[in-house]
Structure 1
Amino acid sequence: MINLSDIVKAYDVRGIVPDQLDPEVARALGAAFVTITGVRALAAGRDMRPSGPELLAAFADGATSQGADVVDIGLASTDMLYFASGQLGLAGAMFTASHNPARYNGIKLCLPGAQPVGQDTGLAEVRSLAQDYLATGLPAPADRPGSVTSRDLLADYAGYLRGLVDLSASRPLKVVVDAGNGMAGYTVPAVLGSAVLAPLPLEIDELYFELDGSFPNHEANPLEPANLVDLQRRVVEVGADIGLAFDGDADRCFVVDADGNPVSPSAVTALVAVRELAKAPGSAVIHNLITSKAVPEIIAAHGGRPVRTRVGHSYIKAEMAVTDAVFGGEHSAHYYFRDFWRADTGMLAAMHVLAALGEQDGTLAALTSDYQRYHASGEINSTVADQDAKVAAVRDRFADRTSASDTLDGLTLELADGSWLNVRASNTEPLLRLNVEAPTPTALAAVRDEALAVIRS
Structure 2
Amino acid sequence: MDLTCFKAYDIRGELGAELNVDIAYRIGRAFATFLQPKKVVVGWDVRETSPELKDAFAQGVLDFGADVIDLGMCGTEEVYFGTTFLAAEGGCMVTASHNPINYNGMKMVRDNAKPISADTGLADIRAMAESGNYGEKAETPGTLTQLDNRAAYVEHLMTYLDVANLKPMKLVVNAGNGAAGPSLDAIESALLALGAPIEFIKIHHAPDATFPNGIPNPLLHEQQPVTGKVVKDHGADLGIAWDGDFDRCFLWDEDGNFIEGYYIVGLLAEAFLAKQPGAKIVYDPRLVWNTVEIVEAAGGVPIQSVSGHTFIKERMRKEDAVYGGEMSAHHYFRDFAYADSGMIPWLLIIDLLSRKQTTLKTLVEDRMAKFPSPGEINSKVADADEAMSRVYQAYKPDAIGEDRTDGLSLEFAQWRFNLRKSNTEPVIRLNVETRGDKDLMDEKTQDLLALIRQ
TM-score (structure 2 length as normaliser): 0.96
The offset of 1:171, in angstroms, is 0.8
The answer to whether residue 403 in structure 2 is matched with residue 406 in structure 1 is yes
Shift in Å, 1:19: 2.6
Cα 1:340–1:301 shift into 2, 3 Å? same
Aligned to 1:107: 106
Aligned amino acid, residue 49 of structure 1: R
1:384 aligns with 2:381: yes
Shift in CA distance, 173/289, structure 1 to aligned 2, threshold 3 Å: same
Distance 2:24 2:191 in 1: 33
Report Cα offsets for 1:31-78 as digits up to 9, x if no partner: 000111222211000111111111111001111111111000101111
Alpha-carbon offset, residue 199 of structure 1: 5.0
- 1:258-277 to structure 2, matched below 5 A, reads 258-277=254-273
Q: 1:290-330 deviations in whole A, cap 9, x for unaligned?
A: 13410011001001000011110011001101110000000
* Residue in 2 that maps onto 1:175: 171
2:380 alignment partner AA: T
2:76 matches 1:86? no
Aligned to 2:219: 223
Residues 79 and 93, structure 2, Cα contact 8 Å, conserved in 1: yes
* CA shift in 2, pair 1:197/1:17, >3 Å: farther
Structure 2 partner of 1:451: 448
Per the alignment, residue 95 of structure 1 pairs with 94
CA contact (8 A) 2:32 2:66 kept: yes
Asked if residue 121 in structure 1 is aligned to residue 120 in structure 2, the reply is: yes
Offset, 1:102: 1.6
Find out whether 1:163 has 2:159 as its counterpart. Answer: yes
Aligned residue number for residue 333 of structure 1:
329
How far does residue 193 in structure 1 lie from its aligned partner after superposition?
3.8
- Residues 12 and 109 of structure 1 are in contact (CA less than 8 Å); yes or no, is this contact kept in structure 2? yes
Give 5+ residue unaligned stretches, structure 2.
Answer: none
Contact 1:292 1:374 (C-alpha < 8 Å) held by counterparts: no
Listed as ranges, the matches of 1:298-447 within 5 Å are 298-372=294-368, 373-416=370-413, 418-439=414-435, 440-447=437-444
* Superposed displacement of residue 362, structure 1: 2.4
Distance (Å, rounded) in 2 between the aligned partners of 1:358 and 1:208: 27
Cα offset, 1:182, TM superposition: 0.9
Contact 1:295/1:371 (<8 A) preserved: no
Which residue among 70, 76, 88 is the counterpart of 2:74?
A: 76
Are the counterparts in 1 of residues 163 and 194 from structure 2 also a CA contact under 8 Å? no
Distance (whole Å) between structure 1 residues aligned to residue 276 and residue 147 of structure 2: 34
Identity percentage of aligned residues: 39
Deviation at 1:24, TM superposition (A): 0.3
Is contact 1:85-1:114 (8 Å) kept?
yes
Does the CA-based 8 Å contact 1:190-1:197 persist in structure 2? no
Q: Aligned runs of 1:139-218 on 2, under 5 Å?
A: 139-194=135-190, 197-198=193-194, 200-218=196-214
Structure 2 CA distance, aligned partners of 1:359 and 1:310?
33
Kindly indicate whether the alpha-carbon contact (under 8 Å) linking 1:177 and 1:204 is maintained by their aligned counterparts in 2: yes
In structure 2, the CA distance between the partners of 1:324 and 1:194, relative to structure 1 (3 Å rule), is: closer
Kept in 1: contact 2:238–2:254 (CA 8 A)? yes
Separation (CA, whole Å) in 2 of partners of 1:339 and 1:449: 41
**Alignment check: 8 A CA contact 1:155 1:197 kept:** no
Secondary structure in structure 2 of the residue aligned to 1:398:
helix
* 61-70 or 142-151, which deviates more: 142-151
Question: Is the Cα–Cα contact under 8 Å of residues 168 and 201 in structure 1 kept in the other structure?
Answer: no
* DSSP 3-state at the match of 1:175: strand
Tell me the C-alpha RMSD between the 2 structures: 1.5
Which whole-Å CA distance do the structure 1 matches of 2:212 and 2:359 have between them?
32
